[in-house]
Structure 1
Amino acid sequence: MRSLLCVFFFMFLSPFLVKSLNPSLNDDVLGLIVFKADIQDPDGKLSSWNEEDDSPCNNWVGVKCNPRSNRVSDLVLDGFGLSGKLGRGLLQLQFLRKLSLARNNLTGSISLSFSELSDLRVLDLSENGFSGSIPSDFFSQCGSLRSISLAKNRFSGPIPESLGSCSTLASLNLSGNQFSGPLPLGLWSLSGLRSLDLSDNLLEGEIPKGIEALNNLRAISLRNNQLTGEVPDGIGNCLLLRSIDLSRNLLSGGLPSTMQKLLVQ
């Protein structure tokens, strides 16, 4: 009888023991369910997200997991018709590497500290209705990010100087917003940057000197802003540069002679 009671007791407790030994799965489920609760999903695209599941890794639409750790690595919900505001549920996804919520109807300001997601490589919030200014410390701890796109929203105010902290950034697209003020000096410290698009904003002032430090730059667009002054000589020393668009600004003077280096390649 005692042995039967022990077996029954173990069988009763085993689900709780499993969950306590593997709380990470609950963290990801909790984070995604909280995220879902904060937004509207009129087309029911997230109907497969069931809070009763032990893991989101099997059949949750838009969710990809690392097969080794069984933790959520990618959340891609592009064009799902989602609306509402981003809540803190996303910050539960501590192993997230890619967050893409492009082409939705998400609104509000960006108040989340994505720096808490220390593994995040790709952040794409483009083509939504986000507005307001970017917090000054938004980019202060973004050492893991490779690609950022906030394009085609309604962000305003200055581009934070903390952007210069994104030392591993390869692609930056802030086009199609209402960013104003000067170009942040920290831009030219992003030596790994390959693509820079700040077009269709309200940026003003001169293009800072020092662009030659971007020796991996392939494409730059500052089109349709209110930039003044001359094109800096150093741009011709970005020898990998293949696409330049500085049109529809208030620039003066001619093109620097150093750009001939680019034309003959």
Structure 2
Amino acid sequence: MYVFLNGNGLSGTFPENLFRLQHLRVLHLQQNQFSGPLSYGIGNLSNLVELDISLNDFSGSLPDVFGRLRKLESFSASSNRLTGLLPASLVNSASRLRIDLHNNSLDGPIRIKCSAMAQVTSLDLASNNFQGPVPASLSSCQSLTVLHLARNKLGGVVPFEFRNLHALEFLSLGNTSINNISTALEILQHCKNLTILVLGLNFYQEEMPSNVNLQFTSLKALIIPFCHLRGSLPIWLSSSKMLQLLDLSWNSLGGSLPSWIGKFEYLFYLDLSNNSFSGEIPESLTGLENLVHKTALLKESSEHFSLVKSKEQGRPYLVYNDVWSFPPTIDLSHNMFSGPIWPSFGNLKNLHDLSLEENNLSGSIPESISGMTSLEVLDLSRNNLSGEIPHSLARLSFLSVFNVSYNRLYGDTPSGGQFMTFPESSFDGNQALCPRLLAPCQRKQIPPLVSPGKKMKIVDWNFGIGAATGFLLTVFFCFKSGWVFPKGRVCRY
């Protein structure tokens, strides 16, 4: 028997008439407005296999009745107002495969009896108030593929025993106050199936490990922002051939970017913004295979990783429910890059977001940029760019954000296509750039120059003949009319 009441705007307490459905196997109540405590009567549903009460307003402690639900495999109560400790009966059952309690106010230590829950594959306890160190006992959950403990008050280090989580594919420990990134990576490299690793908002001001022996051969997404890590882009990353998403933003990494950053066949999202990288942008970035030819992505479901992404502090957060829903991006903003914007950036036909603002880039904006036909965001503001804005950019029909403010651009501002929708602030700080709403730039007429080595001719032979003929005719008429010598007079006496 299956009951699906999700997304119907229902309210009130848990419907107790459901407790009489002894043969009920699947109950979905998510995305409603149910409130109050979860009734102990739920223990009567002894045949229940799947229970989802997420995205409601349930409050209070979870009842310790899960020992009577011996067939329950999946329990989701995320995004409620639940408090208190984890019920022992919930995390001490051989039938449990998936537990999702993220975004509540549960507290206390995380006590999971993995010896009893040998088959559990997914555990999401993120965004609660759990305390104490990351429990080493989780390493005994040998079938665990998804572990999400982010945004709790854990502290300490990654347990050495985590090296035994050979089935682990998705791990998020972001914002848990853990430390010692070197040890963490040395341990986690032994999780040979690890695909997504999220460690942001930890390891404050530590050094990015440069150990060339680190190996993450299965890694497809590495997310370590907001740590103020020091050092440079680590060379061990170059061996992660499957990498598709790399976010090391808001750190203190410096030096030049190595050319191998453009050699990843599957990379579609690169965010190195808000660091101290310098030198030229590697031209190899303009040949990223997945942004040129759209190489097939090696996607896996990451529904348990609701990631928060903010372009800048103070702006609204963007929440992606799936890692792979991030738009194809190259974000190198707020660094110290110099040199040109390579014309070959135009090869990146599948790129959606190119953000290069707040650097020291120079030269002109290449005409070939218009080849980035999927581009939605182009931010080149606060650099040292000169020349005119290519009018071919008006052909970028998906462009919704464009900013070239505070450069040294001049000439007419493109007025066609999406350029009619951009605010004037997108062009501020370019003193010689003509505003869109005024008449086109009035260019001064410059007289043609004489080619070097050629003499300028004042008169030619045609002009000479005409002048001589005119002179002779003038003299003849003057004599004939007596203007030069007066005519003879007859004397009369």
TM-score bin, normalised by smaller chain: 0.7 to 0.9
Whether the 8 Å contact between 2:166 and 2:193 is mirrored in structure 1 is no
The aligned counterpart of 1:14 is none
Gap regions ≥5 residues in structure 2:
1-130, 151-164, 292-327, 398-416, 419-493
Counterpart secondary structure, 1:216: coil
The aligned counterpart of 2:191 is 93
Q: CA RMSD in A?
A: 2.6
Counterpart secondary structure, 2:240: coil
- Find out whether 1:74 has 2:173 as its counterpart: no
Which of 371, 379, 382 aligns to 1:248? It is 382
- Find out whether 1:148 has 2:246 as its counterpart: yes
Gap regions ≥5 residues in structure 1:
1-42, 64-68
Whether the 8 Å contact between 1:178 and 1:201 is mirrored in structure 2 is yes
Identity score, percent: 28
Q: 1:109 to 1:52 in 2, by over 3 A?
A: closer
Q: Which amino acid aligns with 1:126?
A: P
Which of 266, 273, 279 aligns to 1:181? It is 279
Whether the 8 Å contact between 2:269 and 2:330 is mirrored in structure 1 is yes
| Bigger fraction of residues in helix | 1
Match runs of 1:63-212 below 5 Å: 71-87=167-183, 88-106=186-204, 107-113=206-212, 116-135=215-234, 137-193=235-291, 194-212=328-346
Compute the displacement of 1:257 (Å): 2.2
Counterpart secondary structure, 1:140: helix
Counterpart secondary structure, 2:229: strand
The aligned counterpart of 2:149 is 62
Q: How many residues align?
A: 217
Q: 1:220 to 1:45 in 2, by over 3 A?
A: farther
Q: Which amino acid aligns with 1:204?
A: S
Whether the 8 Å contact between 2:208 and 2:229 is mirrored in structure 1 is yes
Segment drifting more, 81-90 vs 240-249:
81-90
Counterpart secondary structure, 1:210: helix
Q: 1:123 to 1:114 in 2, by over 3 A?
A: farther
- Find out whether 1:213 has 2:330 as its counterpart: no
Q: Which amino acid aligns with 1:55?
A: Q
Q: Distance in 1 between matches of 2:148 and 2:340?
A: 46
When Rg is computed on C-alpha atoms for both structures, the one with the higher figure is 2
Comparing both chains, which one has the higher relative contact order based on Cα–Cα distances under 8 Å and sequence gaps of 6 or more? Answer: 1
Q: 1:96 to 1:113 in 2, by over 3 A?
A: farther
Whether the 8 Å contact between 1:191 and 1:215 is mirrored in structure 2 is no
Compute the displacement of 1:119 (Å): 1.4
Q: Distance in 1 between matches of 2:200 and 2:139?
A: 28
The aligned counterpart of 1:15 is none
Q: 1:62 to 1:225 in 2, by over 3 A?
A: same
Q: Distance in 2 between matches of 1:114 and 1:187?
A: 25
Q: Which amino acid aligns with 1:159?
A: L
- Find out whether 1:49 has 2:148 as its counterpart: no
Q: Distance in 2 between matches of 1:52 and 1:229?
A: 54
Q: 1:226 to 1:83 in 2, by over 3 A?
A: same
Whether the 8 Å contact between 1:91 and 1:114 is mirrored in structure 2 is no
User: Deviations along 1:131-185, whole A, 9 cap, x unmatched?
Assistant: 11224x4443332111000000000000111111111101000000000000001
User: Deviations along 1:191-234, whole A, 9 cap, x unmatched?
Assistant: 42321100000111111220111110111100000101011111
